[in-house]
């Protein structure tokens, strides 16, 4: 009876804590081999306090990243920075693009073709100028095209000193 878990919630919370402790022990040995210095009890305590809220699956990658990039044994802040970068990369959701557009039905295509035809039939009848047969000049404003051109020609012939 003593071997059975007393509470399901307690046994679930003990599993991540056990994983965390095993992870610290594993990386403590690897760091000792890499940096040539055995970690102290204080080092393990610092890691335990500073990193216990992190998920072991991302923490393992953070320890590995610090092993690759640090010259000296990493402190809690360096491990947390590596963890944040790995967590962000692994949990990022990517934009998958816009929803696919369904093909318009035959009747939709016919309606659109008729709308374009009606539009262009009406607009092709209209002149393309904003005010047909007129022309704007800075000195005279809007005038009939021929009259405007005649006035510009006269102005070119008059010397600048006589213009107002």
Q: What is the mean pLDDT of residues 113-140?
A: 80
Domain boundary, last residue among 40, 69, 91: 91
What pLDDT is stored for residue 130 in this prediction?
64
Q: Are 73 and 139 part of one and the same domain?
A: no
Domain boundary, last residue among 91, 107, 136: 91
3 state DSSP class of 22: helix
pLDDT of 32-63, one tens digit each? 888 888 888 888 888 889 998 988 889 999 99
Asked if residue 6 is part of any domain, the answer here is no
What pLDDT is stored for residue 35 in this prediction?
87
Boundaries of domain holding 79: 14-91
Q: Are 87 and 131 part of one and the same domain?
A: no
Phi, psi of 64 (to 5 degrees): -65, -40
Q: Are 131 and 87 part of one and the same domain?
A: no
Contact 72, 37 (CB under 8 A): no
Considering its fold, how many domains does the chain have in total? 2
Task: Look at phi and psi of residue 54 and say left if phi exceeds 0, alpha if psi is from -120 to 50, else beta.
Answer: beta
Q: What is the mean pLDDT of residues 144-154?
A: 87
Contact 50, 76 (CB under 8 A): yes
Asked if residue 117 is part of any domain, the answer here is no
Confidence of residue 106 (pLDDT cuts 50, 70, 90): very high
Q: What is the pTM of this model?
A: 0.48
């Amino acid at each position: 009876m003593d071997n059975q878990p007393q509470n399901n919630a307690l046994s679930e919370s003990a599993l991540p804590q056990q994983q965390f402790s095993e992870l610290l022990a594993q990386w403590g040995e690897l760091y000792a081999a890499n940096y040539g210095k055995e970690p102290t009890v204080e080092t393990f305590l610092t890691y335990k306090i500073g990193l216990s809220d992190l998920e072991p699956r991302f923490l393992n990658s953070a320890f590995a990243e610090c092993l690759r990039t640090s010259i000296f044994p990493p402190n809690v802040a360096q491990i947390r920075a590596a963890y944040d970068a790995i967590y962000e990369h692994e949990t990022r959701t990517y934009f998958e693009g816009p929803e696919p557009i369904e093909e318009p039905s035959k009747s939709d295509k016919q309606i659109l073709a008729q709308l374009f035809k009606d539009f262009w039939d009406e607009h092709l009848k209209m002149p393309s100028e904003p005010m047909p047969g007129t022309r704007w000049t800075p000195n005279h404003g809007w005038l009939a095209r021929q009259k405007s051109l005649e006035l510009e020609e006269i102005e070119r012939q008059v010397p600048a000193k006589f213009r107002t």
